[in-house]
């Protein structure tokens, strides 16, 4: 286990430290190898020379030696040596003279080779493969090199870029699919009121000239036509909002929570009176203000409250939670809750009940989701445990992270911009 940990640490060393480590290790190995080779070459050379030494004279010199001189095997004259022995002697001379330098170069070469093999080869191959696959518009791959060195960081950044490209492609195809569904829904939702209005007009053209319609019936048909015209106006207004969603920029202000609650109560009073259902609003949190786009918050509140009052039996409750990071708007009703796939609720032109097609166009939840995401938050939808539907709209509070495009005081005096500060 200890060896595994050590190898893991070595693999995760930076490129510079790894190169230094390989160089030091190679120099140490080549030093000891050079010393050994020089020693062996000296011994082989002496054995070759020994063949051509007057051994009686050598032993006599050994007996006569003292501390002032040392007896060595003398180098024989080339003319006395065989061709093979002379080449062996010259080779030993070469190794003794240039062995250290030669093995040092060899050790550095081995260090560079190991460095490339262990630290560069695999990530370079993966990056090359990834670049080719991206060029071929194939994003179905994964960068497997995960060492903690510079090449690992580069591969992770490349993997992050690949993931971002994949996500962008997914969003692009989703936008294309949404546009296709949108065109079909627009055709359907325009056709319905037009068909009703055409029916009314045909009846009027047929029966009015012959006085076959009484005034009450005629007024009923005219009111029906006006209702369809109102539906068309709502539809056009919804389409106008949808076309501006992508262009909508955050216009933040310092929002007072008490003023926000007052505006929400005013907004809900008309719905409360019209639906004859109760409405309560509460607020909890650590701050009395937040920095956000009040217009977006009120637009989402309008859409979600209208949906809650539409399906509630007797009561709608709204709770605001404020933290330094976000504002959470929770809206609950005591209706039957969502009966179908919750993921479909935030799609454009969604109707859970086909009869709702005669009342609204199903764009409120879709627009609310887009607005929440544009404000750095999200829209969460679920059925409450004790019955009814519960929707949470989360908005980012830009006081702590300073990401909003523009900050304006409620009295319209300009505050310092927090965008890219």
Domain boundaries, the chain: 2-135, 146-243, 252-408
133 Cα distance to chain centroid? 20
Three-state secondary structure call for residue 148: coil
Greatest CA separation found in the chain? 156
Q: Judge whether residue 347 has pLDDT over 70.
A: no
How much is the pLDDT for 337?
79
Q: What is the mean pLDDT of the chain?
A: 76
Residues 6+ apart with CB under 8 A from 162: 130, 134, 139, 141, 143
**CA-based torsion, 375, 376, 377, 379: positive or negative:** positive
For the cut 70, the answer to whether the pLDDT of residue 325 exceeds it is: yes
Identify the band that residue 206 occupies on the pLDDT scale cut at 50, 70 and 90.
Answer: confident
- Mean pLDDT for 323-330 is 89
Q: Which CATH architecture has domain 146-243?
A: Orthogonal Bundle (1.10)
Which pair of tokens denotes residue 58? 């050598």
Predicted confidence (pLDDT) at residue 78 exceeds the cutoff of 80: no
Mean pLDDT of all residues in 264-282: 86
Q: How confident is the model at residue 413 (pLDDT cuts 50, 70, 90)?
A: very low
Could you give the 3-state DSSP secondary structure of residue 394? strand
CATH class belonging to 252-408? alpha beta
Mean pLDDT throughout 355-378?
72
Q: Tell me: the pLDDT tens digits for 183-196?
A: 766 666 677 677 77
Rounded to the nearest 10°, the torsion over CA 168, 174, 180, 185 is -130
Q: CA 249 to CA 293: how far, in whole Å?
A: 9
Read off the pLDDT of residues 3-45 as tens digits, 9 standing for 90 and up. 555 666 767 777 788 788 888 888 888 888 888 888 888 888 8
């Amino acid at each position: 286990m200890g060896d595994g940990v050590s190898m893991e640490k070595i693999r995760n060393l930076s490129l510079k430290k790894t190169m230094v480590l390989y160089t030091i290790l190679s120099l140490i190995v080549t030093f000891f190898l050079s010393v050994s080779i020089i020693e062996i070459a000296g011994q082989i050379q002496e054995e070759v020379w020994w063949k051509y030494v007057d051994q009686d004279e050598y032993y006599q010199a050994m007996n006569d030696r003292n501390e002032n001189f040392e007896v060595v095997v003398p180098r024989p004259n080339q003319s006395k040596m065989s061709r093979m022995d002379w080449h062996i002697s010259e080779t030993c001379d070469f190794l003794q003279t240039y062995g250290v330098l030669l093995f040092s170069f060899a050790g550095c070469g081995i260090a560079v080779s190991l460095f490339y093999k262990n630290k560069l080869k695999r990530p370079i191959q993966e990056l090359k493969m990834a670049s080719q696959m991206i060029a071929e518009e194939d994003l179905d791959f994964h960068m497997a090199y995960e060492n903690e060195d510079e090449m690992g960081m580069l591969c992770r950044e490349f993997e992050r870029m690949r993931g971002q490209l994949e996500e962008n492609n997914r969003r692009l195809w989703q936008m294309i699919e949404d546009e296709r569904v949108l065109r079909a829904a627009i055709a359907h939702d325009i056709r319905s009121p037009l068909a009703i209005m055409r029916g009314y007009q045909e009846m009027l053209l047929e029966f009015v000239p012959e006085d076959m319609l009484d005034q009450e019936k005629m007024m009923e048909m005219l009111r029906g036509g006006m209702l369809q015209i109102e539906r068309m106006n709502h539809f056009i207004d919804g389409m106008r909002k949808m076309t501006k969603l992508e262009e909508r920029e955050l216009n933040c202000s310092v929002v007072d929570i008490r003023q926000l609650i007052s505006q929400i109560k005013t907004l809900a009073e008309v719905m409360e009176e019209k639906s004859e259902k109760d409405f309560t609003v509460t607020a909890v949190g650590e701050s009395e203000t937040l920095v956000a786009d009040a217009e977006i918050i009120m637009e989402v509140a309008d859409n979600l409250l209208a949906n809650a009052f539409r399906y509630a039996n007797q009561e709608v409750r709204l709770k605001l939670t404020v933290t330094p990071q976000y504002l959470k708007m929770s809206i609950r009703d005591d209706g039957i809750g969502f009966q179908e796939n919750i993921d479909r609720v935030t799609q454009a032109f969604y109707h859970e009940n086909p009869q709702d097609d005669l009342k609204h166009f199903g764009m409120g939840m879709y627009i609310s989701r887009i607005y929440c995401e544009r404000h750095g938050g999200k829209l969460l939808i679920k059925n409450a445990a004790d019955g009814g539907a519960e929707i949470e709209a989360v908005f980012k509070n830009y006081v702590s992270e300073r990401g909003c495009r523009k900050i304006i005081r409620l009295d319209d005096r300009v505050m310092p911009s927090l965008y890219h500060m």
